[in-house]
């Protein structure tokens, strides 16, 4: 579990320090990626928690839920360590999430508007923007909502 927390902290700092600031990223990662929160995700029967690894190092992770055998998967997390980005790990994780829920008809997610690398990643994989929501943090920014039919 520590390796997952380390991956999340590294990825969040690389992505969000310039958006939220180091102190806010520290606060978010310590709260959102605490052991009990990660453990709770692992134990959910309506969810998938997937790791991409090299055999020695965790390269990325994804977490998605599809409550009540529903038709819509919500992708809550997809993070790839900076040194593994652009090497296919994110695409592989996303593809795996999409096949984990065979009855689902679509995948939804939110991404921070200022995180343009992620916005472009999802657009290149067929996601379409469907709206805006409040920021994931208290920064006052916006998140963009995306959806893709399966």
Give all domains of the chain, ordered by start, each with its CATH number: 2-149 (3.40.630.30)
C-alpha span between 47 and 63 (Å, rounded): 7
Sheet holding 142-149, edge to edge: 47-53, 58-65, 72-80, 106-112, 142-149, 128-134
pLDDT for the residue numbered 137: 58
SS3 at position 51: strand
CB atoms within 10 A of CB 21: 13
Q: Which residues contact 124 (CB under 8 A, 6 or more apart)?
A: none
142: left (phi over 0), alpha (psi -120 to 50) or beta: beta
pLDDT digits (tens, 9 = 90+) for 79-136: 999 999 999 999 999 999 999 999 999 999 999 999 999 999 999 999 999 987 766 6
pLDDT digits (tens, 9 = 90+) for 54-68: 999 999 999 999 987
Q: What is the pTM of this model?
A: 0.89
């Amino acid at each position: 579990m520590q390796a997952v927390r380390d991956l999340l902290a590294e990825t969040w700092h690389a992505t969000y320090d310039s958006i939220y600031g180091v102190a806010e990223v520290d606060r978010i990662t310590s709260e959102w990626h605490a052991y009990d929160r990660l453990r709770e995700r692992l134990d959910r029967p309506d969810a998938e928690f997937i790791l991409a690894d090299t055999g020695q190092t965790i390269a990325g992770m994804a977490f998605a839920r599809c409550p009540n055998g529903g038709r819509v998967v919500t992708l809550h997390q997809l993070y790839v360590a900076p040194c593994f980005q652009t090497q296919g790990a994110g695409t592989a994780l996303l593809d795996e999430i999409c096949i984990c829920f065979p009855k689902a008809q679509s995948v939804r997610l939110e991404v921070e508007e200022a995180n343009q690398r992620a916005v472009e990643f999802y657009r290149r994989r067929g996601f379409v923007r469907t709206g805006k929501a409040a920021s994931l943090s208290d920064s006052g920014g916006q998140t963009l909502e995306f959806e893709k039919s399966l």
